[in-house]
């Protein structure tokens, strides 16, 4: 009856076939047309307003695999069983490996655990198809999945209760932060959930750090990731220094790190992301001095460089630029800048990978040219403007749907700060807007700093 009654009312003022019941609530309230872009429509992004009201719900990989219990509940359940057991494992500085289970242990088959872990990782990859913008979160999620499987398979003896509790709290925090951006419901409630889980995660992390447990590195890395996404752009040293201090307790060499990584699956990938944040933060700030050492940077393998689109030789140049001791003279730096720009020239049929590599090479050239020579030198200004132009062309040519697009923030920032034409500003501004319109908004402070510089230079 209700449906027939609704159909009997003739709607006026709208062409047939246009539905407004799918618009976000903010656009409905303001009476404007919504482009239905999810999770944040462009009118709300441009107006700086929260976007909500879409009839959608995020289903996490663990929920799709098992809706009966949340991952954190499963972990805490295992923790409770382990705590209730008369033979409770004491807190240790290094967790036991699942693969080393004895024949009497619940882990009778390493193949069974491996299959379960691979299935969990596959579910995670299905949640983030063909994209690298969630690569860090994906790594963390895979780690939590592996911890869950290993803890259940080992009957509660894989990690100490404190470590399991930390994993559960960090897991809840990540879910709350991600869901706060993409689920329907009260924004205030989403914010309250995020704050509540944030405090719980910090408490668990503080306890783990006090005991110098290496699993705390994952907690520190999680907070570092969110600071990179929406904190003060480039100012990421706080969490990185904490991670380095904790890592030093367990690892004094690459061999030590490799050994610890065999005990804690995924640790090498997390360290690689922290090392990357360290170097790119210094490039963005234009400062010297890195938190991590050269042997830490050995964790950056070809697969990592492919995921962010940066050529390895360009990254080595970034490191040379940001080390405390100047290892390259001014003349050699000029040659390096020219070499990077020559290799950055796109071909007639450049792929996204080629365009992204070119963007990173332009980033290196801009970083060099902004550090050498007199600021008022006309030749320096022309060279810098040419590098910015080339970087902007690369950014404009790369589709925002590409997973690597989100990683070009340093390129956009250096191009924006050194922009000399409104057209360059428009390209960089559009990049920031696309980052804000993604499933998980990124880099609001990066855009704010560029806009401030443009206003000061009369380009806004």
99-123: pLDDT as tens digits: 333 333 323 333 333 343 344 334 4
Report CA 360 to chain centroid distance, whole Å: 18
Architecture per CATH, domain 22-52, reads as Irregular (4.10)
- SS3 sequence, the chain? CHHHHHHHCCCCCCCCCCCCCCCCHHHHHHCCCCCCCCCCCHHHHHHCCCCCCCCCCCCCHHHHHCCCCCHHHHHHHHHHHHHHCCCCCCCCCCCCCHHHCCCCCCCCCHHHHHHHHHHHHHHHHHHCCCCCCCHHHHHHHHHHHHHHHHHHHCCCCCCCHHHHHHHHHHHHHHHHHHHHHHCCCCHHHHHHHHHHHHHHHHHHHHHHHHCCCCCHHHHHHHHHHHHHHHCCCCCCHHHHHHHHHHHHHHCCCHHHHHHHHHHCCCHHHHHHHHHHHHHHHHHHHCCCCCCCCCCHHHHCCHHHHHHHCCCHHHHHHHHHHHCCCCCCCHHHHHHHHHHHHHHHCCCCCCCHHHHHHHHHHHHHHHHHHCCCCCCCCHHHHHHHHHHHHHHHHHHHHCCCCCCCHHHCHHHHHHHHHCCCCHHHHHHHHHHHHHHHCCCCCCCHHHHHHHHHHHHHHCCC
pLDDT: which is higher, 153 or 14: 153
Please state, in angstroms and rounded to a whole number, the distance separating the CA atoms of residues 4 and 141.
47
Cβ-proximal residues to 155 (8 Å cutoff; 6+ apart), any chain: 78, 81, 82, 105, 106
Least trusted range by pLDDT, from 115-129, 206-220, 245-259: 115-129
pLDDT: which is higher, 385 or 80: 385
Mean pLDDT of 145-167: 72
pLDDT for the residue 424: 95
Please state, in angstroms and rounded to a whole number, the distance separating the CA atoms of residues 242 and 233.
18
Mean pLDDT of 176-198: 57
Which of the four pLDDT bands, split at 50, 70 and 90, describes residue 349?
low
pLDDT for the residue 135: 59
Mean pLDDT of 163-190: 64
Portion of the chain with pLDDT greater than 70, in percent: 65
Does residue 303 carry a pLDDT above 50? yes
Cβ-proximal residues to 279 (8 Å cutoff; 6+ apart), any chain: 290, 297, 315, 318, 319, 322
Which of the four pLDDT bands, split at 50, 70 and 90, describes residue 262?
confident
Length of the chain: 460
- Cis status, amide bond into 392, omega within 30 of 0: no
Does residue 257 carry a pLDDT above 90? yes
pLDDT for the residue 134: 55
pLDDT for the residue 127: 38
Please state, in angstroms and rounded to a whole number, the distance separating the CA atoms of residues 161 and 337.
52
Portion of the chain with pLDDT greater than 90, in percent: 33
Q: Is residue 459 a contact partner of residue 425, using CB atoms and an 8 Å limit?
A: yes
Mean pLDDT of 56-73: 40
pLDDT: which is higher, 329 or 206: 329
Residues of the chain with CATH 1.25.40: 301-459
Please state, in angstroms and rounded to a whole number, the distance separating the CA atoms of residues 306 and 276.
13
Among 42-51, 254-263, 420-429, 433-442, name the most confident range.
Answer: 420-429
Does residue 2 carry a pLDDT above 80? no
Mean pLDDT of 38-65: 58
Among 16-20, 52-56, 320-324, 450-454, name the most confident range.
Answer: 450-454
Residues of the chain with CATH 4.10.240: 22-52
Does residue 433 carry a pLDDT above 90? yes
Does residue 80 carry a pLDDT above 50? no
**Best CA proximity match to 156, nearest among 219, 105, 210, 109:** 105
Return the biggest CA–CA distance within the chain: 82
Residue showing tokens 């482009």? 35
Cβ-proximal residues to 240 (8 Å cutoff; 6+ apart), any chain: 224, 274, 277, 278, 281, 291, 292
Mean pLDDT of 77-100: 36
Least trusted range by pLDDT, from 116-130, 180-194, 264-278: 116-130
Task: Kindly list the distances between the CA atom of residue 398 and the CA atoms of 114, 384, 440, 446, in Å, as whole numbers in the listed order.
Answer: 38, 22, 19, 19
List the structure tokens of 347.
């071909």
Q: How many CA atoms lie within 13 A of 454 on its CB side?
A: 22
Least trusted range by pLDDT, from 69-73, 85-89, 163-167, 443-447: 85-89
Does residue 185 carry a pLDDT above 60? no
Please state, in angstroms and rounded to a whole number, the distance separating the CA atoms of residues 205 and 212.
10
Domain 301-459 belongs in CATH node 1.20.58: no
Which of the four pLDDT bands, split at 50, 70 and 90, describes residue 126?
very low
Which of the four pLDDT bands, split at 50, 70 and 90, describes residue 195?
low
pLDDT for the residue 112: 39
Which of the four pLDDT bands, split at 50, 70 and 90, describes residue 379?
confident
| pLDDT (tens digit per residue) in 222-245 | 888 888 888 899 999 988 998 999
List the structure tokens of 440.
């998980």
pLDDT: which is higher, 102 or 296: 296
pLDDT for the residue 139: 66
């Amino acid at each position: 009856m209700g449906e027939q009654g609704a159909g009997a009312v003739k709607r006026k003022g709208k062409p047939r076939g246009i539905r407004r019941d799918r618009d976000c609530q903010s656009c409905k309230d303001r009476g404007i047309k919504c482009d239905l872009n999810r999770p944040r429509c462009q009118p709300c992004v441009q107006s700086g307003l929260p976007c909500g009201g879409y009839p959608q719900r995020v289903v996490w990989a663990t929920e799709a695999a098992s809706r009966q219990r949340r991952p954190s509940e499963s972990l805490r359940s295992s923790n409770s069983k382990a705590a209730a057991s008369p033979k409770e494992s004491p807190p240790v500085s290094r967790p036991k490996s699942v693969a080393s289970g004895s024949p009497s242990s619940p882990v009778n088959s390493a193949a069974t655990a491996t299959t379960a872990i691979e299935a969990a990782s596959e579910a995670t990859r299905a949640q983030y198809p063909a994209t690298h913008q969630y690569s860090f979160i994906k790594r963390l999620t895979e780690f939590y999945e592996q911890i869950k499987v290993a803890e259940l398979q080992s009957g509660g003896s894989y990690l100490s209760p404190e470590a399991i509790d930390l994993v559960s709290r960090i897991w809840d925090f990540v879910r709350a932060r991600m869901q706060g951006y993409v689920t329907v419901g009260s924004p205030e409630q989403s914010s309250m959930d995020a704050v509540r889980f944030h405090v719980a995660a910090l408490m668990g992390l503080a306890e783990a750090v006090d005991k110098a447990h290496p699993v705390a590195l994952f907690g520190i890395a999680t907070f570092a990731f969110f600071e990179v996404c929406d904190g003060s752009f480039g100012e990421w040293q706080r969490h990185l220094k904490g991670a380095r201090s904790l890592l030093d307790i367990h690892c004094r060499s690459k061999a030590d790190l490799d050994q610890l990584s065999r005990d804690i699956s995924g640790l090498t990938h997390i360290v690689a992301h922290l090392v990357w944040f360290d170097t790119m933060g210094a490039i963005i700030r234009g400062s010297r001095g890195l938190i991590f050492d050269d042997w830490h940077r050995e964790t950056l393998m070809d697969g990592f460089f492919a995921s962010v689109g940066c050529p390895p030789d360009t990254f080595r140049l970034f490191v040379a630029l940001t080390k405390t001791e100047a290892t390259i003279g001014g003349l050699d730096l000029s040659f390096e800048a020219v070499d990077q720009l020559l290799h950055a020239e796109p071909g007639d049929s450049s792929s996204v990978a080629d365009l992204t590599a070119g963007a990173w090479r332009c980033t290196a050239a801009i970083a060099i040219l902004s550090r050498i020579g007199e600021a008022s030198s006309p030749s320096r200004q022309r060279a810098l403007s040419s590098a910015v132009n080339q970087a902007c062309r690369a950014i404009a040519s790369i589709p925002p749907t590409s997973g690597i697009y989100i990683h070009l923030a340093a390129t956009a920032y250096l191009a924006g700060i050194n922009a000399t034409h409104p057209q360059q500003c428009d390209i960089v501004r559009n990049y920031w807007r696309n980052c804000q319109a993604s499933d998980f908004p990124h880099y609001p402070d990066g855009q704010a700093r560029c806009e401030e510089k443009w206003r000061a230079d009369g380009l806004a």
